[in-house]
Structure 1
Amino acid sequence: MEETDPLRYSILASGSTGNVTYLETKEHHILIDAGLSGKRIAGLMAQIHRSLDDVDAIFVTHEHSDHSHGVGVLARRYGMDVYANQGTWDAMANKIGKIPLEQKHIIAPNSVKDLGDMDVESFSVSHDAAEPQFYQVHHNNKTFCILTDTGYVSDRVEGTIRDADAYLMECNHDTEMLRMGPYSWPLKQRILSDTGHLSNEEGADALMDVLGRRTKRIFLGHRSQHNNMRSLAHLTVASLMKEHDFGVNHDFKLLDAEPDHPSKLMTL
């Protein structure tokens, strides 16, 4: 059953400039976040041979523009249902324009939306947004988990996301690059705070706390374009995990999500 009815996914974009993830089962095609223009997202979908015409829902994590920019356009143009918690709806109302009432849905923090052959589970995170939450998607005993935009990973979150089959985990910044970089000190403090973003080291620590025997792929994502580099993030995480006897690229693959082109369409 799992071979003929898989969960497929592609990380269309992940970075400080925009975030979109696509997932599909036989019955449902969804986006988690739509942080780019509708035209750009359509182009990314075409690169994995998929169409926005087939997407039936968007699940929004929070109101920041790199996660919500295209939500309104896609909802109006393609008739997609949009799911977010009440705090996020209130915070993004003036950013995304009007959406027909019948397309607007509430998914409360720490709850599960049953779509039939796909369950979408929300969990609260610590970020400087109105009511931020992220999602893991379940299908046929397989789980894909997204966790970016959080200042730290609580024990509660770790317990919720432990032993997923695949992760998209935040490795936003290298701490020294951030400290020495061009950002203002208040902005640096915000990123480094408990409501900011995970560093490369913090992303690695979170992964080592949650991955299990089922875990086969880890994508490192939401890299800052100013305070990180792909090679540095990958090397930092891989080195720390190897130091703690994790089988990097043996027990699981460590991969890099990109801000400007999609991963291939993968199967769980």
Structure 2
Amino acid sequence: MKLCSIASGSSGNCIFAGSDSTSVLIDAGISGKRVENGLNTIGFTGRDLDGILITHEHSDHIKGLGVLARKLHLPIYATVGTIDAILGCSSLGKFPDSIFREVRADEAFKIGDLNIDPFTISHDAVEPVGYRISHNNSSVGIATDLGKYDEYIIRHLQGLDALLLEANHDVNMLQVGSYPYYLKQRILSDKGHLSNCSAGQLLCKLLHDGMKEIMLGHLSRENNYEALAFETVCSEVTMGDNPYKSKDFHIQVAKREEVSKPVTV
């Protein structure tokens, strides 16, 4: 399996995952042109895709979806609540008929030879989900926009070969920053975003000897920066209640404007 971040951050998210014969995008929160250019960077085109998985309806996850849908006529997979919210977003334009495929949290399904397992996430969207994607004995997880984590989330993310995990903000930067009070409270709430510290603490519960890659994603432009997210998460892992040190794993930060090097697991 391959995993690659085409874009990841509070301004736009698009992730590629696939096997040798089946490829999908997770979210399309950047322009169709950027999606195509990103795919070209790793040797693919939009025509090589077999579907688009949507986590939720916020703009940084669906901004380019209308253009891609009309250009590629790919099936779009999302929960009923997310589909309804997307259809209510006039800025995306008209979607081709019968392009949406309904998914339900905790009900696995297949796209080609990929097994897709959607799981509920706590975020202030209508019916948001994360995704675990498996092929044969390999699996990758996409877990962003988590207001909190619990045993349910941990269960769905255990045993992964690679994980893209949200490290959205530094709490101190957020608290002293320029955001209005209501927005700070939203981000810090159980339906907001994971902080760097929380991401590291969750990671401590997921690490195992077979974990090959960890990408930190969905960083806030205003309330975080790459080196801080990396160092904070690494410190939580090294000092946390687990048998590992951060240097035992390959941890990288998924870029906002750059395509990451594809990871093969």
Shorter-chain TM-score bucket reads over 0.9
Matched, 1:205 2:201: yes
Paired AA for residue 90 in structure 1? D
Paired AA for residue 255 in structure 1? Q
Alignment-derived partner of residue 55 in structure 2: 61
Q: Deviation string for 1:13-46 (max 9, x for gaps)?
A: 1100100001121221110000001011111122
- Once the two structures are overlaid, the 10-residue window that deviates more, 89-98 or 117-126, is 89-98
Counterpart-to-counterpart distance in 2, 1:194 and 1:24: 31
Counterpart-to-counterpart distance in 2, 1:217 and 1:23: 14
| 1:247 shift after superposition | 2.8
| 1:97 shift after superposition | 2.8
Alignment-derived partner of residue 147 in structure 1: 143
Counterpart-to-counterpart distance in 2, 1:51 and 1:158: 34
Give the secondary structure class of the aligned counterpart of 1:210.
coil
Alignment-derived partner of residue 32 in structure 1: 26
1:39-50 matches, cutoff 5 A: 39-50=33-44
Aligned residues of 1:163 and 1:213 also touching (Cα < 8 A): no
Alignment-derived partner of residue 243 in structure 1: 239
Aligned residues of 2:10 and 2:218 also touching (Cα < 8 A): yes
Alignment-derived partner of residue 130 in structure 1: 126
| 1:92 shift after superposition | 1.2
Structure 2 portions without partners, runs of 5+ = none
Aligned residues of 1:32 and 1:60 also touching (Cα < 8 A): yes
Counterpart-to-counterpart distance in 1, 2:105 and 2:10: 24
Counterpart-to-counterpart distance in 2, 1:71 and 1:34: 5
Give the secondary structure class of the aligned counterpart of 1:101.
coil
Q: Deviation string for 1:56-95 (max 9, x for gaps)?
A: 2000000000001111111110111100000001111132
Alignment-derived partner of residue 221 in structure 1: 217
2:262 aligned residue (254, 265, 268) = 265
Alignment-derived partner of residue 254 in structure 1: 251
Aligned residues of 2:51 and 2:75 also touching (Cα < 8 A): yes
Aligned residues of 1:48 and 1:265 also touching (Cα < 8 A): yes
2:94 aligned residue (98, 109, 133) = 98
Counterpart-to-counterpart distance in 2, 1:267 and 1:17: 26
Percentage identity across aligned positions? 39
Paired AA for residue 248 in structure 1? S
What value does the CA root-mean-square deviation take over the aligned residues? 1.1
| 1:100 shift after superposition | 2.4
**Count of residues paired in the alignment:** 261
- How high is the TM-score relative to the length of structure 2? 0.95
Counterpart-to-counterpart distance in 2, 1:18 and 1:161: 23
Paired AA for residue 49 in structure 1? G
Counterpart-to-counterpart distance in 1, 2:40 and 2:247: 29
Structure 1 portions without partners, runs of 5+ = 1-6
Give the secondary structure class of the aligned counterpart of 1:196.
coil
Aligned residues of 2:132 and 2:156 also touching (Cα < 8 A): no
Q: Deviation string for 1:217-263 (max 9, x for gaps)?
A: 1111100000001000100111121113423232x211110110111
TM superposition outliers: structure 1 runs of 4+ over 3 Å: none
